[in-house]
A and B are shown apart, each in its own frame.
Chain A
Amino acid sequence: MHQESAAKPLHQRLLAGEPAAAEELVTTEGGRLFQASRRILGNEEDALDCVQEAFAKAFQKISTFEGRSDISTWLYRILINESLIRLRQKRRSKIIDIDSLMPEFDIEGCRIEPPWQPVKDPEQLAESGEIRRHVRAAIDILPEDARNVLLLRDIEELNTRETAEILEISEAAVKVRLHRARAALKKLLEPHFGAGDVE
């Protein structure tokens, strides 16, 4: 690699058509993108397809990259969009009625809630493959709007503004959907914290 070309920002070298720049981008970002797509989609095959699609799109529209954000952030966003599109296309056997999973209150506005007596903590539970399958299955039956927000906020750990930008919805909508998704998952997954389900 030439000294003068290495000093130029990566996106400018990509724009100039330097083959080494493309290779550098794939080497430095490929693993991270693969893992993010794997988290969203839940399987490697789809994730690898999305990573390829994301790079193809990025190379095609590199001239639209304005250099205001990091190129890795820009690329990550393309990947997230690709992954969410792929997720939407996947056939689902069942989508839950999310309203039926919301917290319950009596007529006075008092909560009706069973006592919380977990046997294991979340990190320990996540070590069980059986539990991980339950978690993925619970996410899979959420309505799309709640599921997308949950994946970006709680799995990808993006903030409210970033999530709103990617999904092209308001920040208020992000907050409402996140709360519904979390409350639904609580209802679906809390039985697994009990003694009966621990391996």
Chain B
Amino acid sequence: MSKVKVMRTIKSAVAKSPIGLSCCDLEERVDAYLENELGWPAKMKIRMHAAMCRDCTSYLRAYTATRDLVRAAIRTEAEGADTLPDDIARKILERKKSGPEDGAA
């Protein structure tokens, strides 16, 4: 039996035990885990599973890294756009003056 197969057999045996968790179970709880919404026992189960499961460890790392990349990329992209141009601010106020008064419509 290869090393990978042995690990998988152990993993699925532990997953079926009362304290265990399968990769699928972990998948269902991944966001709650990352957002720190889980109670202590559930958190420990995930950590125990990840300690044994190279695939889930890789997955968790890639999942959080991508989430962080998406946030950082979009925030960087919009960095320059932090002041409303004067002509737009003027347009907004002019439109307000000429537009219908509140409650009139």
Contact = CB atoms under 8 A, between A and B. Distances in A.
A60 B85 CA distance: 22
Interface residues of B, number: 55
Given A30-B84, A56-B99, A60-B100, A190 B62 contact: yes
Given A110-B8, A132-B73, A185-B66, A60 B99 contact: yes
How extensive is the interface on chain A, given as a class? 35 or more
Nearest to A175: B31
B105 A189 contact: no
B74 A39 contact: yes
Nearest to A39: B78
Contacts of A193: 62, 65, 69
Interface string B22-44: 11111100110000000000000
Contact of A47 (B30, B63, B65, B81): B81
A109 B89 contact: no
B83 A114 contact: no
A183 B73 contact: no
Nearest to A157: B71
Interface of B: 8, 11-12, 15, 22-27, 30-31, 53-59, 61-63, 65-78, 81-85, 88-89, 91-93, 95-97, 99-103, 105
